[in-house]
Amino acid sequence: MITILVTGKDSQLAQCIQSVAANFPNFNFIYKSSRELDITNVVQVTEVFKSLGQIDFCINCAAYTAVDRAESEVEKAYKINVEGVKNIAQACFENQVTLIHISTDFLFDGTSLNPYTEESETNPLNVYGETKLKGELVIQELLSNYFIIRTSWLYSEFGNNFLKTMLRLAKENDEISVVNDQLGSPTYAKDLAEVILKLIGAKNVSYGIYNYSNSGVASWYDFASEIFRLSNSKIKLKRINTNQYPTPAIRPKYSVLDTTKIEESLRIEIPYWKESLRKVI
C-alpha cells in the first residue's frame, strides 16, 4: 500500500484527486486542508509529517493562485508559494518522502514561437509566476526525489475557474467580451489528477520537471466559445485584444507546453482539450 499525503484539500486539483481515488485501490490517501496543514507554518508542517508516520508521496496542491491579486499581495503570494513550499520540501527531505509539486505555464514570457519544453528558459511576467518559479528552485535545492509538474489553464467542476465563471456570466449577461490573443491549452484538472496518480503507480524514478496539459491550442475566446456551444448558451461572444482588457498581472501571449516527455515516460495519449471539456459540461 502506497500512502499519499495531499495538501490543499479544498483546491480543485485535490478535489479531482479525491474524485478519481477509487480507481487506485492500492493507494492510501490522506487529505489535509489549509486549516489542518498550513504550509506556511513550519512547526505545524513538521508536526503533521511526524504524526502521520510513513508517507511515501506528498502531492502539494496548496498554492496561492490569485494571479491578479498577487500583484498587490506580493508578501502573501511569496509566503505560500515560496516559504510554504520550502517547508513542505524540507519535511519531505527529513521524512524521505517523494514530493509532487504543481507548477504553471506562467513561468514563461510568451515570446516563444514553439511549445515550451521542460528545458525552456523561464522569464515570468507577473508576481504569481515569479513566486512559482522560486518555489520550483527551492525544491530543486532541497530535494533529489521530486516531480514538478507544470500545467496550464486548469478547470474542473470544482473550485473557481474559467469554465465556471463563463457559465455564470452566460446566465447573467446577453453579451461578453473575451481575449483572443493569448494562446494556451485548457486542461481538465481530473485528467491531470489521473496522470499524477499514474506517475506514482508507475514507480517512475526519473525525477525532475514534467509538463502536462491537454493537447491542442486555444485562445481564451476559443475556450469560452466552446464552453457556450457545449452548454447551449445563447450569449453573444465578442473577440477583444489583451490591450482592451487590462489586468493587474501581465499574461504571456503564448504559453503552450510541450508534453512529449510525460507522454513517452508514462506511454499515455493525452486527451484533446475539447474532448475533456465535453465530458465536464
- CATH fold of 2-159+187-215+255-271, please? Rossmann fold (3.40.50)
**CA angle, residues 195, 29, 150, in degrees to nearest 5:** 30
Q: How does the average pLDDT of the chain come out, rounded?
A: 94
Q: pLDDT value at position 24?
A: 93
**Where exactly are the structural domains of the chain?**
2-159+187-215+255-271
Length reported for the chain: 281
Closest CA to 60 of 35, 23, 31, 94: 31
163 φ, ψ (degrees, to nearest 5): -55, -50
Whether 112 has a pLDDT exceeding 90, the answer reads yes
The pLDDT-based confidence of 129 (bands split at 50, 70, 90) is: very high
Active-site entry in 128, 155, 188, 254 = 128
- Cα 118 from chain centre: 15
Q: Please tell me what DSSP assigns to residue 31.
A: E
Whether 200 has a pLDDT exceeding 90, the answer reads yes
Whether 173 has a pLDDT exceeding 90, the answer reads no
The pLDDT-based confidence of 5 (bands split at 50, 70, 90) is: very high
Asked about 128 being catalytic, the answer comes back as yes
Q: pLDDT value at position 205?
A: 82
The span from the CA of 131 to the CA of 79, in Å, is 9
Amino acid making up residue 131:
T
**CA angle, residues 256, 277, 65, in degrees to nearest 5:** 55
- Of the chain, the percentage scoring pLDDT greater than 70 comes to 100
The pLDDT-based confidence of 203 (bands split at 50, 70, 90) is: confident
Mean of pLDDT values over 200-227: 94
